[in-house]
A = this chain, B = another copy of it.
Amino acid sequence: MSKGYTLVEIAKWVGGAVRGEAGTRITGVSGVAEAGPSHITWLAHEKYIPQLKTSKAGAVVVSEQFGETPMPAILVADPMLAVAVILERFAPPIPRPKVGVHPSAQVARTAGLGKEVAVGPNVVVGDGTRIGDRVVLHANVFVGNDVKIGDDCELWPGVVIRERCILGNRVAIHPNTTIGSDGYGYQFVEGKHRKIPQIGSVEIADDVEIGANCAVDRAKFGITRIGEGTKIDNLVQVAHNVQIGPHCLIVAQCGIAGSTQLGTGVVLGGQVGVRDHVRINDGVRAAALSGISKDIPAGAKINGNPAVDNQQFLREKALIRQLPRMAEQIKALMKRVEQLEATADDS
């Protein structure tokens, strides 16, 4: 990384074209405001376009349609995709425990590890658990009994996977997240909440990523499921028996209550709450902070609490903003009608 790469080399990685000084050497990626002359930058958001003028960046990645830039540019069809590729090339290597089992780890004799598995310090792996090839278990991870973990998974420090949960291939789970904790189920009997045993488990499909400090509860019976390619942000709650479809995005601090189902490609903005036993169909997009209390048809864009169609939400908000005027109009009307009535009486 010390010598960096020329714009010509970088343009090749991303199938782009260089405009301006093609020999410019780049040693890193940085934001528009922070970038120096050896950094390449990009426009994460259109509101940063004005900052480009004063940016000290050595180069910028822009779309082919983008106009003149004060520094050399790499022109591409999809700048965000190109930046992802460039970031990958500049990414410093991620430190991981060495392949093998750290002497302080406790791996049960009946557990089975695949090829090139890395088990860090203080990791615990329970009886009967099967772990696939090239899996990385960072320090202080707990994996209970009879768990199945596919190939190329990575569990970060402090992750807890309770017994009998199943993870597919290429699943990443970030620090301090809990998978397979008891669902929240009680029966009110003789003045007390009696626990309903939570005897099911959790299945997480291929290519799922789950953020830090989340909780995914095991099913009461059957399985809590997270579908292929779904990405979950930090501090998210997934209750027992929830069924999340493939390729969903669940932003930070969302909570999904028991037995609720999400279809394919559902997007929940931050802090969205979804009640139990509802179905959110394919492609629904819920704005941040929405509260979803009933089934939502495919493709709907919703907002508010209880969530309604986003257009309706915006209209209602605009009308609420006009309430003071409406109140005045009513008052004025009452006066005018009174006057009319007085005139009518007179005549």
Query: Which positions in A face B, CB cutoff 8 Å?
Result: 28-31, 34, 44-45, 47, 80-81, 83-84, 87-88, 90-92, 94-95, 102, 104, 106, 120-122, 124, 126-127, 138-140, 142, 144-146, 156-158, 160, 162-164, 172, 174-178, 181-182, 184, 186-187, 189, 191-197, 199, 207, 209, 211-215, 217, 220-222, 229, 231, 233-235, 237, 239, 241, 247, 249, 251-253, 255, 257, 259, 270-271, 273, 275, 277, 288-289, 291, 293, 305-306, 315-317, 319-324, 326-327, 329-330, 333-334, 336-337, 340-341, 343-344, 347
> Would B142 and A157 count as touching, CB distance under 8 A?
yes
> Would B289 and A305 count as touching, CB distance under 8 A?
yes
Given A178-B174, A181-B175, verify A193-B247 contact (CB < 8 Å). yes
Give A127's nearest chain B residue, CB to CB.
B95
Chain B proximity of A301: nearest CB distance (Å):
15
> Would B160 and A157 count as touching, CB distance under 8 A?
yes
> Would B291 and A289 count as touching, CB distance under 8 A?
yes
Q: Contact partner of A199 among B29, B182, B234, B336, CB < 8 A?
A: B29
In the bound complex, CA of A265 to CA of B102 (Å) = 45
The CB with the most chain B CB atoms within 10 A, among A182, A191, A241, A275, is that of A182
Chain B proximity of A29: nearest CB distance (Å):
5
In the bound complex, CA of A34 to CA of B291 (Å) = 28
The CB with the most chain B CB atoms within 10 A, among A34, A91, A94, A316, is that of A94
In the bound complex, CA of A340 to CA of B341 (Å) = 7
Q: Which residues of B contact A220 (CB under 8 A)?
A: 44, 87
Q: Which residues of B contact A91 (CB under 8 A)?
A: 197, 199
